[in-house]
Structure formats: C-alpha cells, structure tokens
Structure 1
Amino acid sequence: MSDPVVVGVDGSTSSFDAVDVAAREARLRGAPLRIVHAFGHPSGPLPPGATPWSPAGHTLEPMVRGQLVRAEEQAHAAAPGIEITRSVVAGDAVEVLEIESRSAALTVVGSRGLTGFSGLLLGSTAVHLAAHGHCPLMVVRGRPDPSGPVLLAVEGSPAGEAAVDFAFAEAALRGAPLVALHVWNTWSERAYEGPGDPLTAVVADTEHLREAEQHLLDRVVADRQAAYPQVTVDRRLVRSRVRAALIEASRTAQLVIAGARGRGGFTGLLLGSASQALLHHADCPVTVVRGKE
C-alpha cells in the first residue's frame, strides 16, 4: 500500500479547508487519506498554577463523532472513493503530526489553527512541520487557480534539489505546466559565512551576474527535463526582491513549491526567509520540501 496523505484536524475552519485539499491530493496520488486529531495539552512548560493535562475525565467519543466524522464526510464529498482512516491521538499536535510525517507521502495542514495567537498569519504547527517534518508539507492558504501552473522557487542550493524533483513530479501528476522562477539581485551572490564576513558585496558587473544566474536556472531545469518530457517548463529569471517576486507569482499559480532553505540562509536556520514569506503570504497552497542539509 502506498504511503498515506496525512491531514491534521483541530476543529478550525482552516483545518477543514485542509481536509478538502488533502482528499483531492490523496485521490491524485492513488493514496489513502489519514485524518488525525491530536487530543491533549500542548507541549512545553505549563503556566503557574495550571493543572497538568490528563486524558482522565476527557471523553474521545464527542471528538470521534463530531470533528472527525465531519472531516471524513467532507473528504468523501471532495474525493469520492478514496480510502480514509481517522485517528485521535493523545499528545501535542506538533509532536503527533511530526511522528505521522515519518510514514506519510504528504502532510497537509491549514494555515491557522484554533490555538493561534490573534494577529499571527501562520499557525505554530505549520511553522514547526515545515522545518522539522519528515515528508513534504502542504500548507493550505489563499485561493488557488486550478488552471494555473505549478510554481517552483528555484534557488540552486544542494538542499533545494529535493524541491525541484518534487515540483517536476507534481506538475506531471497534475498535467500542469511548471513555472521555474529564479529571482536574483546584486545582493544574492554570496551567503553569510560567520562573524566578520560581510553579508554581501554590491556587484558592479551585473550582466556577468545575470548570466551566472541564468546558467544556474538552466542547469536546474535541464537536469530534470529529460526525466519529465511531458512537463512544459517556463523558465523565468527575474531581477527583483526575492520574497516580493515569489508572492506576486503565487497569485496565478495552483501550487507553489519551495525548499526549506535557500542559498542565503544563516547557518543553523531550518527554514529560509523565502519559504517563510510564502507560508505567510502566498495566494495559493504552499508545499515546503526539506532536502539534505
């Protein structure tokens, strides 16, 4: 049996939006759908005077008969005929879904949960799974254009190779064109290497830099094009601010795919600034694919 698509449900509107998308993703892959609800107190230190959470005195029956039944019915309506399992697990949502991701083809969550703080654009579960999950993470947000392309954020680092592979496979699976977008500017040619090293240097020879960035984009695409001849690829080299250009391009896409880290990431960061910006502001669902660090 193929690995399941796992979707986290917490009763929020955002999580039920994720159920619809996850069901369609499962049907697309010919995979089962696993609906998971984490039932318990969040991990971490408790506030002073708070009583430690215990499953004693809590009944799972309303949860199973309520949220999960609704989620399963909604999934069947979105993708009739898919195999569905559901599970209520005692534990923190972040920890439970991270464990579930170890045996999943894809983990899907909403952009916000019931426990999110007012004013935050992205829930803590999504942020954590994007940085620590063991399979690609799709965060459902925005209004995707079902006729739009799959958008790949090309950045050229070894850690981003997994995102490129995933994007080509997704475009082939959906029968959609792929937009390979590489954004560059005169501050993007060097990464920070530690104390005493300037972040970047202004490049006087912008034409030479543009040619180098075009070569990077061409190489990334050519390496996969032979394996996916059915995928039409639009190579776009754009000189702009990286985050602004990616968010703008997401407005006409059905899905945007990015690596967890980019070339300009600081050592020790698990989630790059571009992928964070997309998770917070993209106008369509975002899939973050972690590669080998």
Structure 2
Amino acid sequence: MGGLVVVGVDGSASGLAAAEEAAREARWRGAALRMVHAFVWSRMRVPLGPSSYGPPEGGLRNLADRLVAEAVERAVATAPEVEVGSVVVPGEPLTVLEAESRGAELVVVGSRGMGGFVGLMVGSTAVHLAAHGRCPVLVVREGSRPGGPVVVGVDGSPAGEAAVDFAFAEAALCGDGVLALHAWTPWNAPLPPPQDPSMPYANPPGAVSEAEERLLAEALAGRRETYPDVPVEHRLVRGDTRKALIEASRSARILVVGARGRGGFRGLLLGSVSQAMLHHAHCPVAVVRGGGGV
C-alpha cells in the first residue's frame, strides 16, 4: 500500500461526489483513503447526544457518524479494493483539513458544503484549503464526471512547474493524456530581449509569440522522457488565460493549475486564475502550490 488520500466529508452532494473521486484517486495511486469529518459542534457547548424526548439514534454526534458512513459506502462502491478508514475530528473544517494535508499526498473536498450560500459555485473551505493545504488539493462538484485529458495551465512560474509535474503524474496513473495550455496576451507577456540593443523597445513581428512558444516548450521539457506513455498536446492561445482554461475544462477529466502564477502579487497564496477555475471550471480542479508534487 502506498500513500494516503484524504477526503473531507460533510453530507453535501458535492462532498459525496468528492468521496467517490477520492476513492478513484486512491485506487490509481495504490493509496489508503481516509474519510475526515470536522465536527464543529463539540466546540460550541451544545448537547451532542440524542434528546431524552427523541429516538436513541438522534443527536449531532450520531448525525456525524451517519454522514461519514454514507461517504464510506459511496467510496467502497466506487473502489472496493481501496483500504478505507474514517474519523470524526473536533474542530473547524479548514483547520482540520489543513492539518490532515500535512500527511497526505492529496486532499479532496467538495466544491460547496452543507452550509454554503445558494448561488455560490464554490465554498470558503475549498478556496481556503486550496491556498493553505500542504499538498495538492482537488475540488470536486456534484454531477456528471466528464472524460477527456488532464488539462494543465502552463505559465512558467514555480507553482506552474509543480502543476505540470502533478498533471503528468496524474495522467500516467489513470491512463489519460495531457493537454498543456498556455495563454498569453501582449499585456501579460514579458517582452523578449531586443535584437538591437540600441533600440530597447524594438522587436521583430512575432517575437513575443515565439517567446511564449518557447516558454511552453521549456516548461514541458523532459516530461516526455519521464512519461513516455502519456500522450501530450501543446496548445498556445492568444487570449485571456481564465477564458481559455474554462473553455478547455469543458472536455477535460480534470484541470490542474498552480496556486499562484506568473505575475502574482507577493504574499498572495492563491492567484486570480486559480480562484477563477475553482468557481467556473466544468470539471474537478486540482490546485498545486509551488514545490508540491503528486
């Protein structure tokens, strides 16, 4: 048995979808699966057991156990060969799952939990965990699970490099191909060094596009040798990064992005592109911080 995949469960539809996706990830990785429910009520000094006026199976603690049991049932049905454990941990979800991420190779959560506001595409726990988790975080919505390649956003940043590593390892595990997408505009692409030093702002036509093509090629360098059986498609898009990745996610099995890309402000743990993907992508989204692996 390999490493550990952790999934946060709360009884929501997206939480149950996360349990199924986590079971698949654990099967591909040869990892154990750990179901974690953050039990906030133990900190609020409210009765946890059944009421003397109600059935013995009532009460908040029994409800938590039932939520976990349903998630375990879903996971076992999805991947019967995976070793599944479960735990109810006192505390707030973000704190509990951040601590769990320290010993995991992947944490999986639903996009919006039981307490989410109607209309929000992704909840605060998913966003904050993507920023603060100590390993890659996979955010899953309920609904159909599309097939297709592993799409990865490439931008040349340290987190982008880690996202590329994760994407290729993920594709190799589950037998998918990789679509490596790099989007640029003249406003966000750094100018290449001028060919004539006496004219610092002069570049021949197409120089910026060629520089962006090199960035994409260099970001993928060596991956074909490491993962010779993974089909790879390069896609260079002149346009908005968010729109390009959202469109590509329509036919993807999973979308992988770095937590904070090229041009991100120092101190921000989660960039605008990764946040946009969490809210608007059409498939599960994996957020990888710089230096994180699969």
Q: TM-score, normalised by structure 2?
A: 0.87
The aligned amino acid for 1:174 is: C
CA deviation after TM superposition for structure 1 residue 159, in Å: 2.8
| Corresponding residue for residue 210 of structure 2 | 211
CA distance in 1, matches of 2:75, 2:163: 27
Give % identity.
Answer: 56
CA distance in 1, matches of 2:63, 2:267: 39
CA distance in 1, matches of 2:22, 2:202: 44
Q: What does 1:133-282 correspond to in 2, within 5 Å? A: 133-141=133-141, 143-146=144-147, 148-190=148-190, 207-282=206-281
Instruction: Tell me, yes or no, if the aligned pair for 2:176 and 2:230 is still in contact at 8 Å.
Output: yes
CA distance in 1, matches of 2:258, 2:41: 31
CA distance in 2, matches of 1:206, 1:110: 46
Q: Does 1:66 align with 2:66?
A: yes
Residues 236-283 of structure 1, C-alpha deviations (whole Å, 9 max, x = no match): 101011101100000001011010011021222111111111110101
CA distance in 1, matches of 2:208, 2:270: 26
Instruction: Tell me, yes or no, if the aligned pair for 1:144 and 1:252 is still in contact at 8 Å.
Output: no
Instruction: Tell me, yes or no, if the aligned pair for 1:144 and 1:283 is still in contact at 8 Å.
Output: no
The aligned amino acid for 1:270 is: L
Instruction: Tell me, yes or no, if the aligned pair for 1:187 and 1:203 is still in contact at 8 Å.
Output: no
Inter-CA distance 283–205: structure 2 relative to 1 (3 Å threshold): farther
CA deviation after TM superposition for structure 1 residue 8, in Å: 0.6
* 3-state SS in 2 of match to 1:77: helix
Instruction: Tell me, yes or no, if the aligned pair for 2:131 and 2:270 is still in contact at 8 Å.
Output: yes
CA distance in 1, matches of 2:82, 2:282: 28
The aligned amino acid for 1:57 is: P
| Corresponding residue for residue 53 of structure 1 | 44
* 3-state SS in 1 of match to 2:16: helix
The aligned amino acid for 2:172 is: A
CA deviation after TM superposition for structure 1 residue 14, in Å: 1.2
Q: CA RMSD in A?
A: 2.2
Inter-CA distance 206–91: structure 2 relative to 1 (3 Å threshold): farther
CA distance in 1, matches of 2:258, 2:204: 28
Residues 42-99 of structure 1, C-alpha deviations (whole Å, 9 max, x = no match): 9xxxxxxxxx713x62136513541111111111111112111100011000100000
Inter-CA distance 170–206: structure 2 relative to 1 (3 Å threshold): farther
CA distance in 2, matches of 1:8, 1:99: 12
* 3-state SS in 2 of match to 1:226: helix
CA distance in 1, matches of 2:204, 2:85: 57
The aligned amino acid for 1:230 is: D
CA distance in 2, matches of 1:287, 1:203: 39
CA distance in 2, matches of 1:12, 1:117: 13
**Count of matched residue positions in the alignment of Structure 1 and Structure 2:** 272
| Corresponding residue for residue 85 of structure 2 | 85
The aligned amino acid for 1:145 is: P
CA distance in 2, matches of 1:94, 1:22: 18
Q: What does 1:5-84 correspond to in 2, within 5 Å? A: 5-40=5-40, 53-54=44-45, 57-59=47-49, 61-63=61-63, 65-84=65-84
CA distance in 2, matches of 1:131, 1:205: 40
Instruction: Tell me, yes or no, if the aligned pair for 2:153 and 2:160 is still in contact at 8 Å.
Output: no
The aligned amino acid for 2:252 is: A
Instruction: Tell me, yes or no, if the aligned pair for 2:41 and 2:48 is still in contact at 8 Å.
Output: no
CA deviation after TM superposition for structure 1 residue 209, in Å: 0.6
* 3-state SS in 2 of match to 1:103: coil
CA distance in 1, matches of 2:202, 2:10: 49
| Corresponding residue for residue 106 of structure 1 | 106
> Where does the alignment leave 5 or more consecutive residues of structure 2 unmatched?
50-59, 192-200
The aligned amino acid for 1:277 is: A
* 3-state SS in 1 of match to 2:226: coil
CA distance in 2, matches of 1:283, 1:125: 19
